[in-house]
C-alpha cells in the first residue's frame, strides 16, 4: 500500500513530502488510518541526526492515533472502525527477560522503534507516524479511553508514558515533594501526572513566562532555575526529580535539591554527555538514574489512568506543511505544550 508522508534525506534538509510502501496486513497486523501524530523532540533529534544513529530517509512520528481500516485474519484484539494508538515501539524479541516482564523498551535483543528501527518484515528501516497510514502487529497497538479528545491523546503515547513510567517506578505519590524540570511536551505531562498521583509538584523552568500556565496544569509551585537564590532555598527538600530537558544544562543544581537517598531521573536526552559532580551524590547517598519510554502493559495502564483522571496533553494542532516551523519553535521552547499534526492536511 502506498502512503503519503513527510520525511528527510539528510540531517541538513528540512522535512518534505515523501511517498513509500507499507506491507499489507499480515495475519496479526492492524492497518491504521492515521488521524493525528504528536511531535516529540526525539523526532527533531532524529531527523537532524543529533544522536548520530539516524537511518535515511527518515520519517519521524511515534505519538500516533488513528482508526483501524483492516485487520489480519488472526487479529483478536481490534476491530475495523475502532480508534487506537501506537507509541514508540512496533516490535521486540518477546522472549528475553525484559520482554517477558512487559518491559519491551529494554528488550535485550533491541526493540524495534516505530521509526528508525530495523524493519525485519519488509527490509530496510521503519517509517513513523508523519504518514497517512501504518501497519502494526496487534500486540503493539493500544486501546484508547473513549472519553478523551483524540488529537490531545496522541502525545500520551510518548510524552505521557515517558513521564508516567518513572513516576510509577519510583513510587511517586502523596506526601512527596516532586520536581519536574522543563515545561515542554514531556514536562507538562509530568506535571499533570505527578499532580494526579497526589504529589506536591514544583516545576523548574528557564521560562519565567510559563509560571501561570504551570500552575493551571497542576504545579503547586514554580521555580525559575536561572535564579540561584531561589534554587538555593530548595536545597535538600526533594523526594524525586524528573528532568525532561532536551539541551545541555547543569544537572548538578538539581542533584543538590534531593534529600538523602532520593533520586533524579533523567529522561531528556541531550546529544552531549552531562557533567556530574559526584560529591553531590556521595555526601547524601543520592541516585542519578535514567528511564526509557515504557512497555506495552504500562502504556495501556497509563492510557487507562489518563482516561480515569481526564488527562490529555495541551496541544497546538498544525497541518503537516508547518512541521519545519514547528521544529524551530520547539527549539525556542515556544510550544504550548505539544504540537500535534492533523493528518487530514496530508490526505488532501
The residues that touch ligand NAP, with contacts defined as CB under 6 A, are 40-42, 45, 158-159, 162, 182-187, 205-207, 210, 244-247, 249, 267-269, 291-293, 330, 333, 335
Output 25 or 91, the one with its CB closest to ligand NAP: 91
Find which of ligand NAP, Zn ion, none residue 249 binds, CB within 5 to 8 Å per kind: ligand NAP
Buried b (16+ CB within 10 A) or exposed e, 186-216: bbbbbbbbbbbbebbbbbbbebeebbebbee
Q: Minimum distance between the CB of residue 331 and ligand NAP, rounded to whole angstroms?
A: 7
Find which of ligand NAP, Zn ion, none residue 155 binds, CB within 5 to 8 Å per kind: none
d(CA 303, CA 83): 13
Output 39 or 178, the one with its CB closest to Zn ion: 39
Q: Write out the residues near Zn ion by the rule CB under 5 A.
A: 40, 42, 92-93, 96, 99, 107, 109, 158
Q: Minimum distance between the CB of residue 221 and ligand NAP, rounded to whole angstroms?
A: 14
Q: Minimum distance between the CB of residue 295 and ligand NAP, rounded to whole angstroms?
A: 12
46-51, Cβ contacts within 8 angstroms, sequence gap of 24 or more: 46/115, 46/116, 47/8, 47/11, 47/15, 47/327, 48/11, 49/10, 49/11, 50/11, 50/271, 51/269, 51/271
Q: Minimum distance between the CB of residue 286 and ligand NAP, rounded to whole angstroms?
A: 20
Q: Minimum distance between the CB of residue 128 and ligand NAP, rounded to whole angstroms?
A: 13
Find which of ligand NAP, Zn ion, none residue 247 binds, CB within 5 to 8 Å per kind: ligand NAP
- Is the Cα torsion angle 230, 233, 235, 239 positive or negative in sign? negative
Q: Minimum distance between the CB of residue 255 and Zn ion, rounded to whole angstroms?
A: 25
Q: Minimum distance between the CB of residue 153 and Zn ion, rounded to whole angstroms?
A: 15
Output 68 or 293, the one with its CB closest to Zn ion: 293
Which residues does 129 contact at the CB level (< 8 Å), separation at least 6?
34, 37, 60, 61, 62, 63, 64, 86, 114, 115
Which residues does 312 contact at the CB level (< 8 Å), separation at least 6?
148, 149, 152, 153, 155, 156, 306
Which single residue brings its beta carbon nearest to ligand NAP? 184
d(CA 303, CA 154): 10
Find which of ligand NAP, Zn ion, none residue 192 binds, CB within 5 to 8 Å per kind: none
Output 49 or 207, the one with its CB closest to ligand NAP: 207
Q: Count the alpha carbons within 13 Å of 301 in the hemisphere toward its beta carbon.
A: 16
Cell of 230: 531561589
Find which of Zn ion, ligand NAP, none residue 131 binds, CB within 5 to 8 Å per kind: none
Find which of ligand NAP, Zn ion, none residue 96 binds, CB within 5 to 8 Å per kind: Zn ion
Output 78 or 170, the one with its CB closest to ligand NAP: 170
Q: Minimum distance between the CB of residue 177 and ligand NAP, rounded to whole angstroms?
A: 19
Output 78 or 337, the one with its CB closest to ligand NAP: 337
- Is the Cα torsion angle 326, 331, 334, 340 positive or negative in sign? positive
- Is the Cα torsion angle 64, 65, 66, 72 positive or negative in sign? positive
Q: Residue 99: is it exposed, middle or buried by C-beta count within 10 angstroms (0-12/13-18/19+)? A: buried
Q: Minimum distance between the CB of residue 292 and ligand NAP, rounded to whole angstroms?
A: 4
Find which of ligand NAP, Zn ion, none residue 185 binds, CB within 5 to 8 Å per kind: ligand NAP
| Region for 226 from its dihedrals, namely left if φ exceeds 0, alpha if ψ lies in -120 to 50, beta otherwise | alpha
Find which of ligand NAP, Zn ion, none residue 107 binds, CB within 5 to 8 Å per kind: Zn ion
Find which of Zn ion, ligand NAP, none residue 153 binds, CB within 5 to 8 Å per kind: none
d(CA 179, CA 104): 27
Amino acid at each position: 500500500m502506498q502512503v503519503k508522508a513527510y520525511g528527510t534525506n539528510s540531517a541538513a534538509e528540512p522535512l518534505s513530502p515523501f511517498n513509500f510502501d507499507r506491507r499489507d496486513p499480515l495475519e496479526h497486523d492492524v492497518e491504521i488510518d492515521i488521524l493525528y501524530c504528536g511531535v516529540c523532540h526525539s523526532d527533531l533529534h532524529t531527523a537532524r541526526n543529533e544522536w548520530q544513529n539516524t537511518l535515511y530517509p527518515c520519517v519521524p512520528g511515534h505519538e500516533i492515533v488513528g482508526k483501524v481500516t483492516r485487520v489480519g485474519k488472526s487479529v483478536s484484539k481490534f476491530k475495523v472502525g475502532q480508534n487506537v494508538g501506537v507509541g514508540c515501539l512496533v516490535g521486540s524479541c518477546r522472549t528475553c527477560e525484559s520482554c517477558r516482564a512487559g518491559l519491551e523498551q529494554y528488550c535485550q535483543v533491541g526493540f524495534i522503534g516505530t521509526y528508525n528501527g530495523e524493519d525485519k518484515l519488509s527490509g530496510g528501516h521503519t517509517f513513523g507516524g508523519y504518514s497517512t497510514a501504518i501497519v502494526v502487529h496487534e500486540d503493539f497497538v493500544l486501546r484508547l479511553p473513549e472519553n478523551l479528545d483524540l488529537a490531545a491523546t496522541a502525545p500520551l503515547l510518548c510524552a505521557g508514558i515517558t513521564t508516567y513510567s518513572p513516576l510509577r517506578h519510583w513510587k511517586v505519590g502523596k506526601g512527596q515533594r516532586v520536581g519536574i524540570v522543563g515545561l515542554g511536551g514531556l514536562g507538562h505531562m509530568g506535571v499533570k501526572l505527578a499532580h494526579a498521583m497526589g504529589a506536591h509538584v514544583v516545576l523548574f523552568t528557564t521560562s519565567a513566562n510559563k509560571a501561570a500556565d504551570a500552575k493551571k496544569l497542576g504545579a503547586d509551585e514554580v521555580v525559575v532555575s536561572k535564579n540561584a537564590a531561589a534554587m538555593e532555598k530548595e536545597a535538600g527538600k526533594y523526594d524525586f526529580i524528573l528532568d525532561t530537558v532536551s539541551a545541555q544544562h547543569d544537572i548538578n543544581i538539581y542533584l543538590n535539591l534531593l534529600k538523602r537517598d532520593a533520586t533524579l531521573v533523567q529522561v531528556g536526552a541531550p546529544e552531549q554527555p552531562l557533567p556530574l559532580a559526584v560529591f553531590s551524590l556521595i555526601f547524601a547517598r543520592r541516585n542519578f538514574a535514567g528511564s526509557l519510554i515504557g512497555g506495552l502493559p504500562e502504556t495501556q495502564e497509563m492510557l487507562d489512568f489518563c482516561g480515569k483522571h481526564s488527562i490529555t496533553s495541551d496541544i497546538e494542532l498544525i497541518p503537516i506543511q508547518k512541521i519545519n516551523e514547528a521544529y524551530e519553535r520547539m527549539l525556542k521552547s515556544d510550544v504550548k505544550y505539544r504540537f500535534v499534526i492533523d493528518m487530514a492536511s496530508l490526505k488532501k
